[in-house]
């Protein structure tokens, strides 16, 4: 788990990722943005899930944890679309 940003990315928040639009059913990876200070849980880093819907500026992501399906509300800045 990388705790620091690379030298070229320090201090930046890429606006294209901040305002990205995700559709229902898109597969996403959860990648923590270090420049945003939020109560982001470390156990969520690196998980993958499916976008279920949008709530405000954030997305509801359905993640399979062992045998249970859980839903988390995560801002778009922490989501990376998987092709």
Question: Of how many residues is the chain composed?
Answer: 83
Tokens 């690379």 sit on residue: 6
Contact by Cβ (8 Å): 61, 50: yes
Instruction: Yes or no: say if 76 and 19 are a contact pair by the CB < 8 Å rule.
Output: yes
Reply yes or no on whether the pLDDT at 1 is more than 60. Answer: no
Pairing mode, if any, of strands 79-81 and 58-65? unpaired
Q: How many CB atoms lie within 10 A of CB 44?
A: 16
Tokens representing 28 are 């996403």
Residue-wise pLDDT tens digits, 16-57: 888 889 999 999 999 888 788 777 778 888 999 999 999 998
Max avg pLDDT among 6-10, 41-45, 77-81: 77-81
Q: Which CATH superfamily is domain 7-81 in?
A: Ribosomal protein L21 (2.30.30.70)
- pTM, two decimals, is 0.81
Domain ranges of the chain: 7-81
pLDDT of residue 28: 96
């Amino acid at each position: 788990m990388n705790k620091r940003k690379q030298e070229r990315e320090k201090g930046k928040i890429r606006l294209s990722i901040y305002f990205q639009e995700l559709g229902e059913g898109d597969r996403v990876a959860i990648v923590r943005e270090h420049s945003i200070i939020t109560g982001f849980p470390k156990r969520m880093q690196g998980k993958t899930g499916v976008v279920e819907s949008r709530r405000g500026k954030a997305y509801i992501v359905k993640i399979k944890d062992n045998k249970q399906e859980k839903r988390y509300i995560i801002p778009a800045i922490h989501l990376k679309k998987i092709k």
